[in-house]
Amino acid sequence: MKQRLIAIGESLHASIPEMGRVMRELSSLGPDAYSAPSKHLDCIRALIESQAAGGANYIAVNLDAFGEDEPQVAIDMMREYVTLVRKWGGGVPVCIDSSNGDVLIAGLKQWYNTAERVKVPLLNSVKIYTMDNILPLKKDFDFAFVGLLLSEKASAGLGTSNSVAQMHELAKQIFHVAVGQHGFKSEEIFFDPMVFPLAIDMPMEPGVPGYTYRTFQTIKKIKADRQMQDVHCVLGVSNCAADLPGRKIGVCRAYLAKAMEHGLDAAIVNVAHRYGQVEPAPDLLELVDAYAKMDGTLEKTNRAVELMSKFCRDLRKSTE
């Protein structure tokens, strides 16, 4: 828990129900929505400022929820929010977060659309099958990026997720193209082997390791690769607690602690929860540790199932 954690503030995300509502209502205020005073704009400003004050190294903006049917809406909104982060972020750079390459490019160009001197932004994410469209932008715009360790074959869903060896190979391919062809420095590359919810992290067939095991072992393998020395590993930690009946912040805190033991040095988090600074509860560390060790053997799988069942039973008792 002593190592430095690069914190990427996650709160400006349109998929968060309350934030999505504020963003939607703000966008409906007309052409001056992002400049004229309003309670909605005040809310966005307060959130940007609080993340900067809370120690965020980057302030992420994700607007994919607005671009599902109309991609141009997400593009236009990303330009506005990038400008707001630059205006109110106190010098903290933006993390432009989108599954749409056009949104990433629009946000990157808007970040540098100023006479001010700004810090290098982070783009999340680049994949093996999208890197040829994004990485060449390095010659015109300085940026760091998150490499999502997902193959085109596995992009249809987490049920076809890659093995540790496959994710390590994807990382090496992205690394060599980024460094060798486009001039990125190792420390400008963040690899994301992805978080899977603990609540449904059960192998579908005997002998197959769990997703958490694969994620943590991939981090360990990348960090041990001397050719990729100084790259970062990052996870969207909040996803680990999806569908759990309670104690979600505590579970995230324990998950992050275990991931850091394997070499994680960056995380997409709610900085207000002080992840990486507050010690996690021992019982939750034990729970996450069981999933981190679920290597496909029946004994390890049964242990994780046993602890998850106890976790859920205890929560039910506490609310009865």
Each as own residue / partner, the long-range contacts of residues 244-249 (CB below 8 Å, 24 or more positions apart, any chain) are 244/197, 244/198, 244/199, 244/311, 245/312, 245/315, 245/316, 246/315, 246/318, 246/319, 247/284, 247/311, 247/315, 249/273
Q: How confident is the model at residue 318 (pLDDT cuts 50, 70, 90)?
A: confident
Residues 6 or more apart whose Cβ sits within 8 Å of residue 264: 5, 219, 233, 234, 235, 256
Using pLDDT thresholds of 50, 70 and 90, give the confidence band for residue 143: very high
258-306 pLDDT tens trace: 999 999 999 999 999 988 788 999 999 999 999 999 999 999 999 999 9
Please state the rounded mean pLDDT for residues 75-91. Answer: 98
pLDDT of 156: 46
Q: Give, rounded to a whole angstrom, the gap between the first and last alpha carbons of the chain.
A: 35
pLDDT digits (tens, 9 = 90+) for 187-228: 999 999 999 999 999 887 888 999 999 999 999 999 999 999
For residues 35 and 67, which has the higher predicted lDDT (pLDDT)? Answer: 35
% of the chain residues with pLDDT over 90: 89
Residue 100: pLDDT band with limits 50, 70, 90: very high
Q: Return the pLDDT at 1.
A: 41
- The pLDDT confidence band at residue 111, using thresholds 50, 70 and 90, is very high
Confidence (pLDDT) at 289: 98
**Beta pairing class for 94-97 and 6-13:** unpaired
| Per-residue 3-state assignment (H helix, E strand, C coil) for 24-37 | HHHHCCCCCCCCCC
| C-beta atoms surrounding 230 within 10 Å | 9
All structural domains of the chain: 6-319 (3.20.20.20)
φ, ψ of residue 34 to 5 degrees: the values are -95, 10
